[in-house]
Chain A
Amino acid sequence: AQKITQTQPGMFVQEKEAVTLDCTYDTSDPSYGLFWYKQPSSGEMIFLIYQGSYDQQNATEGRYSLNFQKARKSANLVISASQLGDSAMYFCASSASTDSWGKLQFGAGTQVVVTP
């Protein structure tokens, strides 16, 4: 079974600054995937970025990058140049190779508030 831990319940960040959201995972699966989702106040879950456990390079998508440290079992999300529209709940999630049905295990989330 997998477990995702997000230790930061909430964070404030100033506009244009970078912010790092922590995520650690616990899995015994040989290969796995790591995901980050954004949930604005409207409620919809928006897929941001994916990192495979065998990917050699850290994933990047625009202003989002994933700081993947496999030995430490961490997959932190970095948002650069924060914008007011980045204010939202952010969830880390994982999938496992032993689960062929693509089930995701989600963390508890981190609430980000971007201030002017």
Chain B
Amino acid sequence: SQTIHQWPATLVQPVGSPLSLECTVEGTSNPNLYWYRQAAGRGLQLLFYSVGIGQISSEVPQNLSASRPQDRQFILSSKKLLLSDSGFYLCAWSTALGLSYEQYFGPGTRLTVT
């Protein structure tokens, strides 16, 4: 069966510090991968998605970047965090075929920028 991992689970970082959040998927090949951010009490905002190694599409211009160095690894980064980067970050995967792209989410990382 497929599983998706994210770490760390929680993170408190000062403004201006770098960020690296990691997501890995097990039990599937060539998944579509997604990064979402959820502000407190709000819906999910798609940040990045990837359909293959080294291929990244950005949905929202911002202070963040993403990379996919391996088929089942997705990394969210920032060189200098802003207060507005605080939120709950969710990684998700889906299969690459069909319209019923139900996405399966990881446990999330709660980021607080101080």
Instruction: Report which A residues bind B (CB closer than 8 A).
Output: 31-33, 35, 37, 42-47, 50, 52, 91, 95, 97, 101-109
Do B108 and A102 have beta carbons less than 8 Å apart? no
Indicate if B27 sits at the interface (CB-CB under 8 A): no
Q: Give the A-B pair count, Cβ closer than 8 A.
A: 62
- Contact with B108, one of A44, A47, A52, A104 (Cβ below 8 angstroms): A44
Indicate if B99 sits at the interface (CB-CB under 8 A): yes
Do B90 and A102 have beta carbons less than 8 Å apart? no
Do A52 and B110 have beta carbons less than 8 Å apart? no
List of B residues within 8 angstroms of A107 by Cβ: 43
Looking at the assembled complex, report how far the CB atom of A45 sits from the nearest CB atom of chain B, in whole angstroms: 4
Do A95 and B90 have beta carbons less than 8 Å apart? no
Considering only CB atoms and an 8 Å cut-off, how many residues of chain B contact the other chain?
Answer: 26
Indicate if B88 sits at the interface (CB-CB under 8 A): yes
Known contacts A43-B88, A103-B49; A52/B100 CB under 8 A: yes
Tell which of A95, A101, A107 has the most Cβ of chain B within 10 Å. A101
- Contact with A109, one of B32, B43, B49 (Cβ below 8 angstroms): B43
Looking at the assembled complex, report how far the CB atom of A99 sits from the nearest CB atom of chain B, in whole angstroms: 9
Known contacts A102-B32, A108-B43; A47/B103 CB under 8 A: yes
Give bound CA distance, A45 to B96, whole Å: 20
Do A47 and B99 have beta carbons less than 8 Å apart? no
- CB-nearest residue of chain B to A6: B43
Do B49 and A45 have beta carbons less than 8 Å apart? no
- Contact with B100, one of A50, A91, A103, A109 (Cβ below 8 angstroms): A50
- Contact with A45, one of B90, B99, B100 (Cβ below 8 angstroms): B90
Looking at the assembled complex, report how far the CB atom of B89 sits from the nearest CB atom of chain A, in whole angstroms: 10
Give bound CA distance, A7 to B53, whole Å: 39
Give bound CA distance, A107 to B17, whole Å: 32
Do B99 and A104 have beta carbons less than 8 Å apart? no
- Contact with A47, one of B49, B59, B104 (Cβ below 8 angstroms): B104
Do B102 and A45 have beta carbons less than 8 Å apart? no
List of A residues within 8 angstroms of B64 by Cβ: none
